Amino acid sequence: MTLADYSMTAFALLNGGRAVAYFPQMIRVYRDPHGAAAVSLMTWTLFAAANVATVCYALTVSNDRVVAIVFALNAVGCMAIAALTLVKRMRMSAAPRRAISLHTIASLRHSQSLVEAGRFEPVNPRSGMRQESLREQHRDEMIRQGLMS
């Protein structure tokens, strides 16, 4: 075997291994509960574009099908990671909005039922304690100033 044959074998094996190595990244993106925030869409899209450009070069300039196939596999892996990440983020961005709106509706219905039952007492959101109405606050202030007994 010549040096060129060894080089081509190393190229095919290492880049073929790289194509297989995309699968653990895809699994991590799929399982990530935070929308794959640590994955850079721009990076994976750039990797995919570079691999596609290499496929085009290998087919048109050097007429080398082995190089084209290897880089095509790499392009597919990069595009798959980018697509999975994009889908994951789209689902994550839509889920909280639905959950918040359902929670808000349930909260409003509960508040309405308390008002109708006459058991509603305003609560300060910071302290979680009962909040006096403006009328009660005004009355207490007038008593402090001696204007009212």
Domain residue ranges in the chain: 3-95
Task: Indicate the residue type of 61.
Answer: V
39 vs 117, residue with greater confidence? 39
Query: Once rounded to an integer, what is the mean pLDDT over residues 25-38?
Result: 90
Q: How confident is the model at residue 46 (pLDDT cuts 50, 70, 90)?
A: very high
Handedness of CA 96, 99, 105, 107 (dihedral sign): negative
Residue 119 has pLDDT above 70, yes or no: no
Q: At 120, list the tokens.
A: 């509603």
- The class of domain 3-95 in CATH terms is mainly alpha
Q: How far is CA 19 from CA 73, 74, 146, in A?
A: 6, 5, 83
79/3 Cα distance (integer angstroms):
33
More confident residue, 149 or 28: 28
Express each pLDDT in 70-106 by its tens digit.
899 999 999 999 999 999 999 887 766 555 567 777 7
Per DSSP, the three-state class of 123 is: strand
Phi-psi region of 35 (alpha: psi -120 to 50; beta: other; left: phi over 0): left
